[in-house]
Amino acid sequence: MSTLDEVATLELPFKPPLDWPRLLRFFGGRATPGVEAVEDGAYRRAIDWAGDSGTLSVRLHPRKRCLVASIEGPASRHADALATPIAKMFDLHADPKKIGAGLAADPWLAPLVEAVPGLRVPGAWSGFELVVRAIAGQQVSVKAATTIIGRLVQRAGERIDGHPHENTAWRFPTPAALAAVDLAQIGMPGKRVAALQGFAHAVATGDVPVDSSTADADSLRAALLALPGIGPWTVEYVAMRAWRDADAWPAWDLVLMQSICARDPALQRPAQQRMRTDAWRPWRAYAAMHLWNEVADRAGAARGG
């Protein structure tokens, strides 16, 4: 059987509603050039699993309440094991009615939940990739961060020979490769480069098991925060997306701070906003998505997060 003949298909159910266009918009706006792409209504990326490589494509089923994940190549033999991380990445275990009911009790959030009842918290294929992106994205726009991440892939990633999809023909750099590569003139300040490579080294040596399925979020938060150049915003953003903490809250996010201040000018700083945002527990990650999404909808762009 040739590689191209190896295809496995999974149907991954979800509780409706699911806002697929906004999930795709979020992933598309942050897709790592060469590694992942959103095209033709599907999310696609190169993957490696248990030593086998392949291409993952995920799209919405035209009739059923499920996503359809296709895995091409040798990685297709691990389809059963891949069902869980794919469902996690697309937040398919969320109960939107329960979450919506919790958030709609707040007059600020009620109209946002009503407008977009199926909003999900987009996950990440890899916590390591997400932290790299978050560090590269500090103090710059989403678009600028994407450009820098594309350069990192070119310098430290690996091109996949004979890969059938040009837009996903690269492997994201491994922690060891990223820790060792020369990042001069990459477009980041020296301190941020040091933070990025310090983090990559900590993951490569096992000190920060960012993609461990057994480590708890609190110990991972502490380990990440202890690294130079990584602050609370990065840690909470990663907790939201990679560790699936539904109550994570990136309090120092500029867009979130502005959104809250616009509603109550007396609440300018995270410390002042805390009482208000605590009311959104245990769903603060979804509240963050709704506030970010409101800005993205208004701008017609991939702002927020």
- The per-residue pLDDT for range 152-175, each reduced to its tens digit, is 999 999 999 888 888 999 999 999
The CATH number covering residue 237 comes to: 1.10.340.30
Catalytic entry in 91, 211, 245, 253: 253
Note whether 88 and 101 are same-domain residues: no
CB-count burial class (<10 Å; 0-12, 13-18, 19+) for 64: exposed
Contact between 58 and 69 under an 8 Å Cβ cutoff? The reply is: yes
Q: Are 199 and 155 contained in the same domain?
A: yes
Q: Based on the structure, what is the number of domains in the chain?
A: 3
Query: Looking at the predicted structure, is the pLDDT value of residue 61 above 60?
Result: yes
pLDDT (tens digit, 9 = 90+) per residue, 107-124? 999 999 999 999 999 999
Residues 43, 140: one domain? no
Terminal alpha carbon distance of the chain = 42
Per residue in 26-55, pLDDT (tens digit) is 999 999 999 999 999 999 999 999 999 999
Res 301: pLDDT: 54
The pLDDT > 70 percentage for the chain reads 97
Among the listed residues 182, 181, 157, 190, the one whose alpha carbon sits nearest the alpha carbon of residue 171: 157
Q: What distance in Å separates the CA atoms of residue 30 and residue 225, rounded to the nearest whole number?
A: 24
Regarding whether 260 and 114 lie in a shared domain, the answer is yes
Based on the fold, state whether residues 155 and 253 are members of the same structural domain: no
pLDDT > 60? residue 2: no
User: Do both 14 and 65 map to the same domain?
Assistant: yes
98/84 same-domain check: no
Q: Which domain holds residue 47?
A: 3-93
Looking at the fold, whether 40 and 141 belong to one and the same domain comes out as no
Cα–Cα–Cα angle for 189, 123, 150, rounded to 5 degrees:
35
> In this structure, what CATH number is given to the domain that contains residue 12?
3.30.310.20
Q: What is the pLDDT of residues 215-227, one digit of tens each?
A: 888 999 999 999 9
Mean pLDDT of the residues in the chain: 94
Nearest-Å Rg of the Cα atoms of the chain is 19
What is the pLDDT, as a whole number, of residue 255? 94
pLDDT of 171:
95
Q: Within this chain, do residues 187 and 290 fall inside the same structural domain, yes or no?
A: no
- Looking at residues 285-293, what average pLDDT do you find? 98
DSSP helix/strand/coil, 277: helix
Task: Give pLDDT, residue 216.
Answer: 86
What pLDDT is stored for residue 8 in this prediction?
A: 97
Q: Is the pLDDT of residue 3 over 50?
A: no
Q: Report helix, strand or coil for 69.
A: strand
Task: Please compute the mean of the pLDDT values over residues 175-200 and round it to a whole number.
Answer: 97
Helix, strand, or coil here: 159?
strand
- Do 64 and 7 fall into the same domain? yes
Q: Give pLDDT tens digits for 228-256.
A: 999 999 999 999 999 999 999 999 999 99
The C-alpha atoms of residue 222 and residue 210 are separated, in whole angstroms, by 11
253 catalytic residue (yes or no) = yes
Q: What is the DSSP letter of 31?
A: P
C-alpha 254: how far from chain center: 18
The pLDDT value recorded for residue 217 is 84
Residue where a domain stops, chosen among 216, 241, 266: 241
Is 259 found in the same domain as 158? no
The predicted model scores a pTM of 0.94
Does 200 share its domain with 300? no
Average pLDDT over residues 120-140: 94
**Which amino acid, one-letter code, is at 53?**
S
CA–CA distance from 227 to each of 65, 202, 207 (Å)? 42, 9, 11
